Structure 1
Amino acid sequence: MVFTSPVERAVPDRVADERDALTQQLDFHRATLLRKLEGLDGERLRRPMTASGLSLLGLVKHLAETEHGWFLRIYAGLPEPDLFPADGDPDADFRVGPGETTETVVGQYLRTCERARAVVAAGALDDVVTTPSGAEANLRSILVHMIQETARHNGHADIIREAIDGTTGH
């Protein structure tokens, strides 16, 4: 079965206020990531395409864990475990395990993004939290970081997708 994104990609409002500009940009890049998966079956989504074993589904898994970490654990302070057990491997969230399906990984990403949206909507851009490293960060900087992180991995997804079937500009 081939993947069809359940998310509509909306073009961000170019004259939005700061909060809307940040959240719309992040949602645009979230939706772009899922568009990179369109039309591919589970085997091709899981296929390692780099020397380090990176796959399209692995990028989704990593970004689910990253959203969870920054918005839910660090910013909201929720005492939750990692979404995906790492067993001491710092890159475990990039690898898709044998029992992890496209539906489970994408479903976790969608649920995590929805929870992150609610946390962001309830917060103020100037709210400051302390990261695990002891640095301070406000919600604004966390949003900017997640836009950057998601957009950067969309670039990786572009290259992986082109290597799989030649699709570009998705």
Structure 2
Amino acid sequence: MAFTSPLERVVPGRLVGERDALAQQLDFHRATLLTKLDGLDDETLRRPMTASGLSLLGLVKHLAATEHGWFLKIYGGVAEPDLFETDEEFRVEPGETADVLVGQYVRISERCRAVVAAGELDDVVTTPWGAEVNLRAILIHLVQETARHNGHADIIRESIDGATGH
């Protein structure tokens, strides 16, 4: 069965404040990633496309873990285990389907959106490695991280079926 993104891609506002600009950019890039999966079946989405084994679903898995770590655990202080048992969050395991991983990404994004909405951009937290960081820097990091991986997704998708411009 072909994948269809559960998210609608909304172009970010151009005359909005800093908080809305950052949040809208992140939402845009989240939706862009899932749009790049449209029309592909589970087997194709999990197919390793690089020497390191990177796949489209691996990117989704990684970004879910990244948001969970930064927004929920580090900024939000939520005491829960990491999403995945290994550090190989780019690698898709046999039981991890598109429905499972995309569903997890969407749910994590929703939780992160709520944590960000309740915070202030200047709120400072200390990372597990001892660095101080504010919510603004975390948002900027996640925007660039997601956008960078969308570039990887562009290349992977074009390699699969020649599709560009998703």
Instruction: Report the TM-score, using the length of structure 2 for normalisation.
Output: 0.99
Aligned equivalent of 2:4: 4
Cα distance in 1 for partners of 2:15, 2:31 equals 20
Which amino acid is 2:23 matched to? T
User: Counterparts of 1:10-21 in structure 2 under 5 Å?
Assistant: 10-21=10-21
Aligned pair 1:23/2:19, yes or no?
A: no
Given residue 114 of structure 2, which amino acid in structure 1 is its aligned partner?
Answer: A
In 2, the alpha carbon distance for the partners of 1:32 and 1:148 equals 13
RMSD in angstroms over aligned alpha carbons? 0.5
User: Which whole-Å deviations, capped at 9, do the CAs of 1:84-131 have from their partners, x for residues lacking one?
Assistant: 111xxx3x1101100111100000000000000000000000000001
| Aligned ranges 1:138-149 → 2 under 5 Å | 138-149=134-145
Letter in 1 for 2:104: Q
Q: Percent identity?
A: 76
Partner of 2:35: 35
Q: Which residue among 118, 124, 131 is the counterpart of 1:135? A: 131
Instruction: Please name the residue that 2:47 is paired with.
Output: 47
Q: Distance in 2 between matches of 1:133 and 1:145?
A: 17
Aligned residues: 166
Does residue 119 in structure 1 map to residue 115 in structure 2? yes
Q: Which residue of 2 aligns with 1:169?
A: 165
In the TM superposition, structure 1's runs of 4+ consecutive aligned residues that sit over 6 Å from their partners are: none
Unpaired segments ≥5 residues, structure 1:
none
Corresponding residue SS for 1:97: coil
Q: How does 1:147-158 map to 2 (within 5 A)?
A: 147-158=143-154
Equivalences for residues 55-66 of structure 1 within 5 A: 55-66=55-66
Match of 2:102 in 1: 106
Q: Distance in 2 between matches of 1:141 and 1:166?
A: 35
Tell me the amino acid that sits aligned with residue 33 of structure 2.
Answer: L
Task: Tell me the distance in 2 between the aligned counterparts of 1:21 and 1:122.
Answer: 16
What's the CA shift for 1:132?
A: 1.3
One-letter amino acid of the counterpart of residue 55, structure 2: S
Paired letter, 1:156: H
